[in-house]
Amino acid sequence: MIVAGFGFSTRAGAASLHDALTRACAAAGIDAPHALATAEDKTAALTTLAQTLGVPVQGIAPDRLAVQVTHTQSARVAQARATGSVAEAAALAAAGPRARLLCPRHHAKDRLASCALAEGAPT
Protein backbone atom coordinates (compact mmCIF):
# COMPACT_ATOMS: atom_id res chain seq x y z
CA MET A 1 0.00 0.00 0.00
CA ILE A 2 1.26 3.45 -0.91
CA VAL A 3 0.29 6.36 1.34
CA ALA A 4 0.61 10.04 0.50
CA GLY A 5 1.38 12.05 3.61
CA PHE A 6 0.67 15.76 3.69
CA GLY A 7 1.87 18.74 5.66
CA PHE A 8 0.33 22.09 4.85
CA SER A 9 -0.48 25.60 5.93
CA THR A 10 -3.99 26.57 6.91
CA ARG A 11 -3.84 28.79 3.79
CA ALA A 12 -3.35 25.79 1.48
CA GLY A 13 -6.24 25.13 -0.85
CA ALA A 14 -7.18 22.19 -3.02
CA ALA A 15 -4.83 23.33 -5.80
CA SER A 16 -1.83 23.37 -3.45
CA LEU A 17 -2.60 19.91 -2.09
CA HIS A 18 -3.11 18.48 -5.58
CA ASP A 19 0.08 20.10 -6.87
CA ALA A 20 2.16 18.68 -4.00
CA LEU A 21 0.68 15.21 -4.64
CA THR A 22 1.34 15.45 -8.37
CA ARG A 23 4.96 16.41 -7.79
CA ALA A 24 5.54 13.59 -5.28
CA CYS A 25 3.90 10.98 -7.51
CA ALA A 26 5.99 12.12 -10.48
CA ALA A 27 9.18 11.87 -8.40
CA ALA A 28 8.28 8.34 -7.24
CA GLY A 29 7.04 7.20 -10.64
CA ILE A 30 3.54 6.26 -9.49
CA ASP A 31 0.09 7.26 -10.73
CA ALA A 32 -1.75 7.63 -7.42
CA PRO A 33 -1.60 6.56 -3.77
CA HIS A 34 -3.93 4.10 -2.06
CA ALA A 35 -4.57 6.42 0.91
CA LEU A 36 -3.87 9.93 2.21
CA ALA A 37 -2.63 10.88 5.67
CA THR A 38 -1.90 13.98 7.71
CA ALA A 39 -1.96 15.24 11.29
CA GLU A 40 -5.28 14.27 12.88
CA ASP A 41 -6.36 17.88 13.36
CA LYS A 42 -6.03 18.60 9.61
CA THR A 43 -7.84 15.69 7.97
CA ALA A 44 -10.89 17.74 6.94
CA ALA A 45 -8.75 19.71 4.48
CA LEU A 46 -7.96 16.48 2.58
CA THR A 47 -11.57 15.33 2.21
CA THR A 48 -12.17 16.72 -1.28
CA LEU A 49 -8.88 15.38 -2.65
CA ALA A 50 -9.56 11.97 -1.10
CA GLN A 51 -13.04 11.85 -2.63
CA THR A 52 -11.68 12.82 -6.03
CA LEU A 53 -9.11 10.02 -5.84
CA GLY A 54 -11.50 7.54 -4.23
CA VAL A 55 -9.15 6.82 -1.33
CA PRO A 56 -9.44 7.07 2.47
CA VAL A 57 -7.88 9.73 4.69
CA GLN A 58 -6.12 8.78 7.91
CA GLY A 59 -5.44 11.26 10.71
CA ILE A 60 -2.24 10.61 12.63
CA ALA A 61 -2.02 11.41 16.33
CA PRO A 62 0.78 13.72 17.51
CA ASP A 63 2.58 10.94 19.41
CA ARG A 64 2.69 8.77 16.27
CA LEU A 65 4.03 11.66 14.18
CA ALA A 66 6.75 12.40 16.73
CA VAL A 67 8.29 8.91 16.68
CA GLN A 68 8.79 8.71 12.92
CA VAL A 69 12.29 9.24 11.55
CA THR A 70 12.02 11.73 8.70
CA HIS A 71 14.53 12.37 5.95
CA THR A 72 14.00 16.11 5.93
CA GLN A 73 13.99 18.48 8.89
CA SER A 74 12.21 21.79 9.33
CA ALA A 75 12.99 23.65 12.54
CA ARG A 76 9.63 25.41 12.39
CA VAL A 77 7.74 22.13 11.96
CA ALA A 78 9.83 20.44 14.66
CA GLN A 79 8.89 23.17 17.13
CA ALA A 80 5.19 23.09 16.22
CA ARG A 81 4.70 19.35 15.61
CA ALA A 82 7.68 17.51 17.19
CA THR A 83 8.72 16.03 13.85
CA GLY A 84 10.99 17.16 11.04
CA SER A 85 8.29 16.74 8.38
CA VAL A 86 4.59 16.18 8.93
CA ALA A 87 4.24 14.90 5.35
CA GLU A 88 6.93 12.25 5.78
CA ALA A 89 5.91 11.28 9.31
CA ALA A 90 2.23 10.95 8.36
CA ALA A 91 3.02 8.82 5.31
CA LEU A 92 5.29 6.51 7.31
CA ALA A 93 2.90 6.18 10.25
CA ALA A 94 -0.09 5.42 8.03
CA ALA A 95 1.82 2.91 5.88
CA GLY A 96 2.71 0.77 8.89
CA PRO A 97 5.57 -0.31 11.12
CA ARG A 98 7.95 -1.44 8.36
CA ALA A 99 7.14 1.33 5.89
CA ARG A 100 9.77 3.06 3.81
CA LEU A 101 9.71 6.41 2.08
CA LEU A 102 9.40 6.25 -1.69
CA CYS A 103 10.22 9.94 -1.83
CA PRO A 104 10.76 12.66 0.75
CA ARG A 105 8.42 15.64 0.85
CA HIS A 106 7.83 17.61 -2.30
CA HIS A 107 6.43 21.11 -2.03
CA ALA A 108 3.64 22.58 -4.09
CA LYS A 109 4.78 25.43 -6.31
CA ASP A 110 3.25 27.93 -3.87
CA ARG A 111 5.01 26.15 -0.93
CA LEU A 112 1.78 26.01 1.08
CA ALA A 113 1.64 22.20 1.01
CA SER A 114 4.07 19.31 0.91
CA CYS A 115 3.56 15.64 0.14
CA ALA A 116 5.71 12.56 0.76
CA LEU A 117 5.02 8.97 -0.28
CA ALA A 118 5.61 5.86 1.80
CA GLU A 119 5.10 2.22 0.97
CA GLY A 120 3.97 -0.25 3.56
CA ALA A 121 5.89 -3.50 3.85
CA PRO A 122 3.97 -6.78 3.65
CA THR A 123 3.36 -8.36 7.02
Strand-pair category, 113-119 with 2-8: antiparallel
Q: What is the pLDDT of residues 11-60, one digit of tens each?
A: 999 999 999 999 999 999 999 999 999 999 999 999 999 999 999 999 99
At residue 123, the pLDDT reads: 52
CA dihedral 72, 77, 81, 82 (to 10 degrees): 50
The predicted pLDDT at position 122 comes to 63
User: Would you state the torsion angle of the CA atoms of residues 104, 51, 8, 114, taken in this order, to the nearest 10 degrees?
Assistant: 20
**Residue 118: strand pairing partners:** 3, 101
Return mean pLDDT, the chain: 93
The residue ranking higher by pLDDT, 9 or 69, is: 9
pLDDT of residue 80: 81
* Count of structural domains, the chain: 1
What pTM was estimated for this model as a whole? 0.93
**What pLDDT does residue 7 have?**
96
Gap between the Cα atoms of 72 and 108, Å rounded: 16
Range of the domain at 42: 2-119
The pLDDT value recorded for residue 26 is 97
Residue 113: beta bridge partners? 8
CATH number at residue 110: 3.30.420.180
